[in-house]
Structure 1
Amino acid sequence: MTSLVDLLHHPLRWRIVQLLIGRPLTTRALAELLPDVATTTLYRQVGVLVKAGVLVVSDEQQVRGTVERTYTLNAAAGDADNEGVDHDRLRTMFTVFVAGIGGHLDQYLARDEIDPLADGISFRQTALNLSDEEFAEFVTAYGELLGRYAGKPDTDERRRRVLSTIVVPD
């Protein structure tokens, strides 16, 4: 059985998963967001992710005689994979994570015009001196804060932004 780390080490599968963070999408919508990817390749990689349990079908609709599926991320897909994480696997997981962030930045930089300040581009690092109990409280409060804003639908007034967080003990 392929591990989640190995599965997501494939760049296109990583891009697909990144696009599905916080929102359901059909394969057609994924194709519109990935115009550089051949349709057959996209369908094949979505199938790999579904078979591995990373993606789940959240809706099906009949569209002109065919079934259009909507996919969402399976939030529990990585839970069982955490027990066997060693130094090398953790480094690989981190590398894949950072590559995903780099991919988002590359997409932003591919625009004809950019305005990092107006667009809210930021890179920050803060050291927190917390006891284990305080850290647990922080994680809970941070999760509650994110919960207030995550999952809101895309509208003309809302712009999708991807927040990436890394916590490493010093």
Structure 2
Amino acid sequence: MASADVLLHPVRMRILQALFDTDPMTTGQLRERLPDIPPATMYRHIAVLVDAGVLEVGDERRVRGTVERSYRVSQEQGRIDPAARAAMTRDDHRRAFTTFAASLMGDFDRYLTHDDVDPHRDGVIYRQAAVWLTDEEFSAMVAEIEHAVVSRVGNTRDGGRIRRVVSLVVVPDEPTT
């Protein structure tokens, strides 16, 4: 698994989110999806992700004398393992969450820029709920949510399916004792 420093950079996180559970994409396709990232910056961060093993080459083909590569996320390397998360400082967590929240805002803003958006029709949901749970109940709830999402990750884009980004944030109201 990659280090938090590799994964939690704002540009690299956006690249990873663009590639999660989708067909491999070329750098050109990523630039179309993330047009606000300058080309040199895109290439530099893709190189960092490849060097760290987070991105892997899905395909290579010759295009006008150069090699065009398509990239996909390495599922083993594309997340921060529990031990690395446990070793993060408060400031590391603050930086990580800020990066995560900024990427959520970027995703939502990108959605809203389309002319034909209709949040109600498109099933946009954002809400919070407070629940009182024992540690065991909390673990069971997290397992249920993970199962509900992970069991659908392999779906293909056929049959009228729309790619939807599902994000989950769980924060205790106060530290556990």
Provide the TM-score with structure 2 as the length reference.
0.80
Higher helix share: 1
4+ residue runs over 4 A deviation? none
User: CA deviation digits over 1:85-131, x for unaligned, max 9?
Assistant: 11111111110010000001111121223211011111111222222
- Is the CA contact 2:26–2:71 (under 8 Å) kept in the aligned structure 1? yes
Unpaired runs of 5+ in structure 2? none
Q: Distance in 1 between matches of 2:84 and 2:53?
A: 12
- 1:45-84 matched pairs, under 5 angstroms: 45-57=45-57, 59-64=58-63, 66-77=66-77, 78-79=80-81, 81-84=84-87
1:158 and 2:157 aligned: no
User: CA deviation digits over 1:56-94, x for unaligned, max 9?
Assistant: 22x223234543333222334322532421111111111
Counterpart residue type for residue 35 of structure 1: P
Counterpart residue type for residue 17 of structure 2: Q
- 1:1-170 matched pairs, under 5 angstroms: 3-5=3-5, 8-9=8-9, 11-23=10-22, 24-57=24-57, 59-64=58-63, 66-77=66-77, 78-79=80-81, 81-155=84-158, 157-170=160-173
Query: 1:7 offset after TM fit, Å?
Result: 5.6
> In the comparison of the two structures, how many residue pairs are matched?
167
Task: Report the more deviating stretch, 62-71 or 91-100.
Answer: 62-71
- Percent sequence identity is 43
Unpaired runs of 5+ in structure 1? none
Shift of the 166–7 alpha-carbon distance from structure 1 to 2, 3 Å rule, reads closer
Structural RMSD (CA)? 2.4
Provide the TM-score with structure 1 as the length reference.
0.83
